[in-house]
Amino acid sequence: MTNAVSIEEANQASIDTPAPVNEGPRDYLFVSRSVDFLMLGGLSILVWIPVYFLQDTGSLAKSFTLAIPAAALSLAYWVNYPHFMASYKLAYMQGKNFIISNWFQLIFVPIALIFVVLISFNFWSSPISGSRLVFFFNALFEFFGLKTRLGLYPNLGSEMLGALILLMYFTVGWHYSKQTFGCMMVYAKLDNYRLGNIERNILRYALLSTWWVTWLYVNCSEGTYPFYGLTVYRLNLPYVWFQASYVIVGLMFITVVIIFARIYVRENRLPSINFLIPLFALLLWHIPLLGDPQFFYLLGFFHSLQYFPFVAKVEKTRYKVAGRSKINIRLLVFFGIMMFVGFLAFDYIPKSFDGMKDSASVLNASFFMIAFMVFINVHHYFIDNVLWRFKNKQVRELLFD
């Protein structure tokens, strides 16, 4: 599966480990290699098998496969909440210098998102059907042979909110693929499985190509889908782009297999199952084979579960460096706090605002639920893009004790 970490240089950089933390060599992240295997993608594949092979069978088996994503949707809240909130804690508590040096991701992006949301809310009812800007872009799309159109929404506010939802899905898919790459690079480091720069980049772009397939799968057709009361318009991109994306994925992963074969010939080593399992899980879940959109709730759940070992490892090492006692209890308290803050950010606060503004009746959409969800998801992509880079010395030292 997919992006807990984007540690792109993990298998080529040296590690400066704090002396008090190093308790001997470790070849796993969280508890054991077996637990890592399950959390990095193994458990998701065990769930994928019955979901995929039983979904078109008898009513009882089909009911079972439908119950799985329903259960995952409920569990995802308790996994997703700490997943998102922990990234804020890890990023913004690294100090002023870290925030300033990554000003675009940590300062500009959140301000820009808030600005767009405020414009959308304050100009919700403004008509755009006769806008010259809309006419210009539609003419531009038509010139390039695209059927994509602006002005399909009834007003400016809903148009901007719909665009933000498309942006969210765009960044989420990229994020999932980058997380898979990060997981693999961390295990390449743990296994001392050496990849050259070109080999590493080919693997990265092969993983990213799966994101293109998923995104084009949704947007290479006309039509709409509901999102918390808002009708979101697909981009109606050329279907041939979606067909071409499958070809590109196939070619990219053939190249990846060749890379693994070359490493075997060169060093007589095969990649470990823990190195490969995030890749296998991504291919099974990210490439749209299941067809039913509700199964993608499972993708979000397992993506957040995949993130857990990395955050847990960083926090536990931080406690050890600081000489804290009762480390496991502190870790449980930490995730409990992250769950509560996530509940406030994803559920309680936006629902309260929607209730006060009567969004469902006045705006015909749960405006604040959408706004909060889009903000957190899009900003999370940018946070993780700087948080888990291997040049981030603080996280690097905490991750590899």
Distance from C-alpha of 116 to C-alpha of 102, rounded to nearest angstrom: 21
Of 230, 223, 218, 222, nearest to 154 (Cα)? 230
Of 172, 294, 156, 153, nearest to 224 (Cα)? 153
Q: Averaged in consecutive runs of 10 residues, what is the pLDDT profile of the chain (401 residues)?
A: 41 38 61 92 86 61 58 72 90 91 95 96 87 91 93 92 94 90 92 92 94 88 91 95 93 96 94 95 74 63 88 89 88 92 93 94 94 95 87 77 67
Of 374, 228, 297, nearest to 80 (Cα)? 297
What is the pLDDT at residue 379?
96
What is the pLDDT at residue 352?
96
Q: Which two tokens stand for residue 274?
A: 């823990």
Confirm whether pTM is higher than 0.75: yes
What is the pLDDT at residue 183?
93
Q: Cα 178 to the chain's mean position, in Å?
A: 8
What is the pLDDT at residue 159?
94
What is the pLDDT at residue 47?
82
What is the pLDDT at residue 72?
65
**Which residues, in sequence order, are bridge partners of residue 225?**
232
Query: Residue 19, class by beta-carbon neighbours within 10 Å (0-12 exposed, 13-18 middle, 19+ buried)?
Result: exposed
Distance from C-alpha of 268 to C-alpha of 261, rounded to nearest angstrom: 9
Count, residues in the chain? 401
What is the pLDDT at residue 261?
96
